[in-house]
Amino acid sequence: MSPATLHPLRARQARLADSLERPLRDLRLSVTDRCNFRCPYCMPSEQFNEQYHFLKSPERLTFEELLRLTRVFIELGVVKVRITGGEPLLRAGLPDLIGDLTTLPGALDIALTTNGVLLAQQAAALRAAGLKRVTVSLDSLDPAVFAQMSGGYGSVEEVLNGIGAAQRAGLEPLKINSVVQRGVNDHTVMELLERFRGTGIIVRFIEYMDVGNRNQWNRSQVVSAHELLERVGARWPLRALEPAYAGEVAQRYAYLDGAGEIGFIASVTQPFCGDCARARLSSDGKLYTCLFAADGADLRAPLRGGASDTELAALISSIWQRRADRYSELREQLRARGVQHVEMNHVGG
């Protein structure tokens, strides 16, 4: 059966590509800019405090608006949606949105990224609504290091309880994302792997990035994926795995002893801009074509101003077709020019 027979509109739009011939396939859907952590590498408490202006309810897209825009993105080729934040589990009624997303046409892959603190209370409801996969951010099992990297909010125990609840609910395969920062938590990575080897949970290490404009990023604090791979391989021999799909960001490896899989996301030392097929929609309805973009295109105004789905699709298409972002490949040049970025809490990871 041809693609046109399966889904005529998607087949017709399948050729939508940006200026570097990258397709639109993955939508990161932020449902809130708020978070219950204050990780120094993302939302340092000195800036994200009582005086910081978080979005008010009328400024955020409603679930109905998020659903409508997602439907348009699907028509343009999106096959994967990841719910992000801020911390998405702070958004009341999130299972309702996930349930509605599962009714959209096509075999839409829906996932969620969370810091895990509220997951124990919500895992069963999320799974019942149709969520299949979840990624939990966990930077260290050491309580003191965890507190340093979360800004003093939450606890290792709460996150582990959330992971356990997610497993019991059937949210698998479950992944853990760990940002590795030299001199902060790099000495705890082996403990993290030891804890989850053989459990079916995939640990992925992320190179410390210059997200937002407030984390005082310094390249000397980056622990490269290559260095981590050598460390891990010296203790537990590994073999490389093929990418699970085109544009996968993680380099995947399996333990030779059969204890599972790990991944490395090397966005600083081995940029993958050339395969990036991800669009990001902030909770106030701005479309960002890169995690490091300075500005987003406003979709909320035309959405609330009466634009039809056809008009919204044309607007999104024109934005994507002009897309030329490749920040990680040009990092040093752009940093030297003082380029600003959207804050991470607006667009997720």
User: What CATH number does residue 58 fall under?
Assistant: 3.20.20.70
- Residue 7, pLDDT score: 42
Residue 13 domain flag: no
Q: Is residue 134 part of a domain?
A: yes
Q: Which two tokens stand for residue 200?
A: 């079916």
Say how far apart CA 172 and CA 61 lie, in whole Å: 29
Tokens 């537990």 belong to 236
* CB of 282 closer than 8 Å to CB of 298: no
Residue 322 lies in a domain: yes
Interatomic CA distance for residues 209 and 335, integer angstroms: 12
CA angle 126, 127, 128 (to 5 degrees): 90
**Alpha-carbon span 80 to 151, nearest angstrom:** 31
The token pair that represents 274 in the structure block: 């050339």
Domains of the chain: total: 1
> 93 lies in a domain?
yes
Helix (H, G, I), strand (E, B) or coil at 309: helix
> Which pLDDT value is given to residue 136?
98
How far apart CA 266 and CA 250 sit, in angstroms, is 8
Q: At what angle do helices 143-150 and 156-169 cross, to 10 degrees?
A: 90
What type of residue is 248? E
d(CA 90, CA 30): 12
The CB density around residue 304, as the number of other CB atoms within 10 Å, is: 12
Concatenating the DSSP letter of every residue in 202-259 gives EEEEEE----TTTS---GGGB--HHHHHHHHHHHS-EEE---SSTT--SEEEEETTS-
Is residue 9 one of the residues assigned to a domain?
A: no
Give the residue among 45, 41, 36, 46 at the shortest CA–CA distance from 155.
36
Radius of gyration of the chain (CA): 20
Q: Spell out where the chain has E strands.
A: 26-30, 80-84, 109-114, 133-137, 175-180, 202-207, 238-240, 251-255, 261-265, 278-281, 286-288, 297-298
Q: What is the DSSP letter of 105?
A: S
Joined tokens for residue 64: 């109905």
The count of other CB atoms within 10 Å of the CB of residue 330 is: 15
Q: List C-alpha distances in Å: 79 to 275, 336, 348.
A: 15, 36, 18
Helical ranges in the chain per DSSP H: 3-6, 8-13, 63-75, 94-101, 119-129, 143-150, 156-169, 189-196, 225-235, 300-304, 309-322, 331-336, 344-347
Domain that holds residue 86: 24-347
Taking CA atoms, 66 is separated from 28, 99, 156, 193, 253, in Å, by 11, 13, 32, 36, 35
Q: Name the residue among 140, 190, 138 with its Cα closest to residue 163.
A: 138
Q: In order along the chain (349 residues), what is the average pLDDT of each group of 10 residues? A: 38 74 97 92 83 92 98 96 97 98 91 98 98 97 97 97 98 96 97 98 95 81 97 98 89 98 96 95 97 94 98 98 93 83 80
Give the Cα separation of 190 and 278 in Å (integer): 31
Residue 11 maps to a domain: no
Tokens of 34: 């708020």
In the prediction, which pLDDT does 118 show?
A: 98
* Domain assignment present for 325: yes
Residue 7 lies in a domain: no
User: What's this model's pTM, rounded to 2 decimal places?
Assistant: 0.92
| Token pair 């609504």: residue | 129
Q: What pLDDT does 14 receive?
A: 52
Cβ-Cβ contacts under 8 Å for 305 (sequence gap 6 or more): none
